[in-house]
Amino acid sequence: MSHIGRPVCAHCGAPCATRFCCTGCEGAHALVQGLGLDAFYRRREGAEGLLKPLDPPSADFASLARANRDGTQTLELMVAGLTCGACIWLVEQALAAEPDVTRARANLSTRRLSVSWRGEAGRGNELAALVARLGFRVAPFSPACLRASEDAEGRELTRALGIASFGAMNVMLVSVAVWAGSDMGPDTRHMMHWLAALIGMPTIAYAGMPLFRSAWRGLRAGRLNMDCAVSLGILATTAMSLSETMRNGDFTWFDGATALLALMLAGRVLDRAARRRARQSAAELLALQEGAVTVLGEAHPVPMERVVVGARILVASGERLRLDAVLEDATALLDTAATTGESLPRHFAEGEALAAGGVNMGAPFVARVTAAAGDGSLAAMGRMLEQAEQARGRYTSLADRAARIYVPVAHVVALCTFLGWWLLVGVSWQAALVPAVAALIITCPCGLAIAVPAVQVVASGALFRRGVLLSSPTGLERLASADHVVLDKTGTLTEGRPRLLPGGWTQEDLGLAASLAGASRHPLSRALSRACPDVAPATGVVEVPGAGLMLGETRLGSAAFLGLPEHAGMALHLARPGQAPAVFRFEDSLRVDAAAAVQAFQRAGLGVELLSGDAPEVVARLAGEAGITLFTARATPEAKAARIAALAAQGRRVLMVGDGINDAAALAAAHVSAAPAEGTDLAQAASDFVLMGGGLLPLAEAVGRARRAQLAARQNIALAFGYNLIAVPVAVAGYATPLIAALVMATSSLAVIGNALRVGRN
């Protein structure tokens, strides 16, 4: 679902058609066609007899609203009925149309709606009622409520599968007795058919409800979905078998109906498990924020969703940091493995940003909250995962279009089969119904419909577990086709943490320079402070931004600031009256896995290039250490973007990796792009992937996984089409009973899911 252009339903794939399979599709069509929200409300409330309106919510949402520092109120709701991107679009557009609403953001994976407005908290009740008028049910949001809803849906589907499997096995036992009993008398056979009916019909009535409800929703909206074909096949087989039982016919197919139902539900459970495994990553991110926070000045711990920006919080030893914050104490030691994948705890200094999700491995510390729970880094990561799960690339759209065409085609094929056998061949209508039902079952496009989404979900979940967060709908497809890598240097190929080199200074020089550097947050000043941590910062230091530091006549800064000759690379100079200047040189080390990542890119057939704005000597040295032969130094942001454009003009599909604001233009211009998690927000916004673990090797490995994912998607589409090319003529010719058709159709779906699961294996 895109917020730009025409909304598309993820269930039916229809862009603003005349009929829709969900509330979101219908409402999105109304808005896009200019009907307006008021007219849409009137239609829903019975003016045209479309749908019965939902009752307004009874909860007091005003008491749950959170006051923000900017004077606005924020309310977190759980919205039941969000089924596709059009639903998200409809809810957000309806709330955005309210003049006092400043922000509305809904999440499909978690069913969470966050809305902020100017004014009194009591307005929350009216906004919740507005969402209810759209046709959705609202409740206060909580991760526990989300898990309960997910568990309830899973339990219903699992229970239906268990009942269907048990019923199918028992019906099969009865059917085997009929098949094997060549000397069985007609009365005994008739009794066995009734026994199969007594077992099969309650099984189908109960276990088939998930499919029947879905089919009914589609029919009520005027659309034929996949479950219509499956439900029709099951009900037709059951009705045909019941008719044969009542007239004491020779054959019934309760075994086929129950087996089809059991196998269809098994496919749904497997597909749900694959999707839930990917969604579990987002759920785990949300779980990192659950709990209360110790806010200074409050008598009791405060729920994390009520903590406002600017609040000062205390994080005890062993406690998890639940909100993004800035460290106010001198130092902190955090285990960030849950969000970055780094195995070792990391030290943070005063003033550094702390991302939510880390566990305090050192002494208690005080931090100042910089983002509310719904706006922080964990929420952003969850939204990226949601986008990856809902991705609709080229192959996804192809499979969706084909599946929409296949449903009416399946009904036409079944009807023609029935008429052909009945009118042309001349068999009875009961006999003609057997191959017709088999054709209806066997042409169901279930395997085709899940061919690509299953791969997408499995691949995005596997990448996340390796520390690569997919944030673009088509990122996997484009990464698979990349053939050239362009790397930025500082913060991408290197760690972005300058290290002081020995030589050119004495210990006395270092102590004095470190005392001045303690008053600055410049990266080189911080590197000096790290090299001499026992020296206290000097008082009275004056900083000249971008130039250096002054304390009386003592100066620390660039060569130009001190009027000295320039040195190659990164350097600070210390000048004192009556003494020779001291030079502190720094280097930025390669990431631990930089050389291995370059080799992995090259083994995958990608060319590797380094673009940097640093001095030629530094760039040449680091390129040599990393094994890169093609590099450019003194590259401006414009030069980087121009180089990407030149490579594209040569027919290269460039993977750009950068972390800074100066890389944003090149990232946006590249065929596919990635940014480290510690990079700037602008760089991450322009990228298709975010590297959470701080290394490049997972991205190199992601290239291979993306290629396997695209291969699996093509294989699944070919498998689904090939299955129908072979199976449909067999069914039409009368060589497949409903039971055989059910087994063949379900086997194709299971094969597609199994092939998709291979993408997630290491």
Q: Which residues have a catalytic role annotated? A: 488
Pairwise CA distance, residues 62 & 120, whole Å? 9
Pairwise CA distance, residues 104 & 74, whole Å? 10
Cα-based distances in Å from 533 to 109, 529, 537, 547, 584:
46, 6, 10, 23, 16
Pairwise CA distance, residues 657 & 490, whole Å? 11
Farthest-apart Cα atoms in the chain, separation:
120
DSSP H helical ranges for 185-317: 186-207, 209-220, 226-246, 254-287
Neighbours of 428 (CB within 10 A): 9
How far is CA 271 from its chain centroid? Answer: 16
Structure tokens at 670: 């590249």
Beta bridge partners of 387: none
DSSP for 578-647 reads: TS--EEEEEE-PBPTTHHHHHHHHHHTT-EEEEE-SS-HHHHHHHHHHHT--EEE-S--HHHHHHHHHHH
Neighbours of 16 (CB within 10 A): 18
DSSP H helical ranges for 105-142: 123-133
Sequence letter at residue 659: D
Q: Are 732 and 413 in contact (CB under 8 A)?
A: yes
Structure tokens at 475: 């990122």
How far is CA 673 from its chain centroid? Answer: 17
Q: Are 592 and 562 in contact (CB under 8 A)?
A: no
Cα-based distances in Å from 117 to 1, 65, 82, 129:
25, 10, 22, 15
Q: Are 664 and 656 in contact (CB under 8 A)?
A: no
Among 507, 571, 558, residue whose Cα is nearest residue 535: 507
Half-sphere exposure of 613 (CA within 13 A, CB side): 14
Structure tokens at 138: 């609202």
Among 458, 454, 483, 469, residue whose Cα is nearest residue 395: 454
